[in-house]
Amino acid sequence: MASNGLKFALFLGCVIPNRYPFIERATKNVFEKFKIELIDMEGASCCPAPGVFRGFDIDTWLVVGARNITIAEELGVDIAIMCNG
Amino acid sequence: MENLQSNKITEISDDFSNLLRDAGYLELSACIQCGTCSGGCPSGRRTAYRTRSLVHKVHLGLKEEVLSDKELWFCSTCYTCLERCPRGVPITEVIIYLRNLAVQEGYMQAPHLALCKMFYNTGHGVPINEEKWSKLRKYHKLSDLPPTTHQFPKAEKEIQTLLKSTEFDKLTGVGDYEKKKDEKGG
């Protein structure tokens, strides 16, 4: 894929890859059209969902969310996100 | 005034609204019970959930009534009430904090527990737990499993380590604590 130099780490979340993969497919198609490279965030987890997991325990929500951010930090690129939590 | 029936007022907790104040939700005491929150609540349009009433009960110190009420979980955290509140009360944040307190007191709904188990075991609240979801991915020319915790068992372990470090497993009764609960017959 020809790239215009722009790169993003793609955060998948849960519902899009596991229930509505057409959104993942469509996103990849759009980014390909714009020649923007998407890098997989290997081992990323649930965001975790603010409506539920933050309701259970705010600290856990922050800790697991921070782990997801460190994955993109190691890749050295900004995150592109499809899900809205 | 249905909340002021004498039989319901027996368990007033003076510390309850102080607890919220100490957690940083000072603005809560600025509530004038105007009802703008209930008026704009999309969840309240469909259910008996009334945001204004919830805040009122917090002020009255009806701790058990607030935390045990299933309606506490009807809020979809859309933030409409927070944005419209003329007194700047961060209502949605307060509801989230109240839910944390409810979980600490053991008031958790069965579907929430199931969600916590999936989160602990797979790193996802909504995991690929049936073959049809992998098939759907393949149909859209994607890998069977996404490059998330699903593809990397090591990442699943990392999540479990983190959940143990915050004692989320103990709080919700998942992982090692799930077994202990079963032994007790709970």
Structure confidence by residue, pLDDT tens digits, B131-181: 999 999 999 999 999 999 999 999 999 999 999 999 999 999 999 988 665
**Residue B64: domain span:** 2-104
Bridge partner list, A81: A11
Same structural domain for residues B98 and B149?
no
Using pLDDT thresholds of 50, 70 and 90, give the confidence band for residue B24.
confident
Same structural domain for residues B157 and B98?
no
Same structural domain for residues B133 and B175?
yes
The domain spans of chain A are: 7-81
pLDDT (tens digit per residue) in A4-39: 889 999 999 999 999 999 999 999 999 999 999 999
CATH value at residue B53:
1.10.1060.10
Q: Look at B171 and A24 and tell me if their CB atoms are within 8 Å.
A: no
Question: What ipTM is given for this predicted complex?
Answer: 0.90
Same structural domain for residues B72 and B125?
no
pTM: 0.85
**Chain B residues 96-135 with CB within 8 Å of chain A:** 96-97, 99-100, 103, 108, 112, 115-116, 119, 123-128, 133
Give the residue from A19, A39, A57 with the most B CB atoms within 10 Å of its CB, the best one to mutate.
A57
> Which one of B99, B146, B165 has the shortest CB-CB distance to A12?
B146
Q: Look at B155 and A44 and tell me if their CB atoms are within 8 Å.
A: yes
Q: Look at B127 and A18 and tell me if their CB atoms are within 8 Å.
A: yes
B10 touches B63 (CB < 8 A): no
Same structural domain for residues B73 and B133?
no
At which of B53, B82, B104 does a domain end?
B104
Other Cβ atoms within 10 Å of B122 Cβ, number = 21
Same structural domain for residues B80 and B129?
no
Same structural domain for residues B172 and B130?
yes
Number of domains in chain B: 2
Same structural domain for residues B149 and B60?
no
User: Taking CB atoms and an 8 Å cutoff, what residues of chain A touch B141?
Assistant: 25
Q: How far apart are CA B21 and CA B153, in angstroms?
A: 42
Which of left, alpha, beta for A39 (phi over 0: left; psi -120 to 50: alpha)? Answer: beta
The pLDDT value recorded for residue B186 is 44
Q: Which two tokens stand for residue B50?
A: 């009334």
Give the residue from A60, A61, A68, A70 with the most B CB atoms within 10 Å of its CB, the best one to mutate.
A60
Across all residues in chain B, what is the average pLDDT? 89
Angle between helices B91-104 and A58-75 (to 10 degrees): 110
pLDDT (tens digit per residue) in A38-55: 999 999 999 998 888 999
Using pLDDT thresholds of 50, 70 and 90, give the confidence band for residue B1.
low
> Which one of B96, B133, B151 has the shortest CB-CB distance to A19?
B133
Same structural domain for residues B15 and B87?
yes
Q: How far apart are CA B111 and CA B14, in angstroms?
A: 32
Same structural domain for residues B70 and B161?
no
At which of B78, B104, B130 does a domain end?
B104
Same structural domain for residues B52 and B88?
yes
Same structural domain for residues B9 and B62?
yes
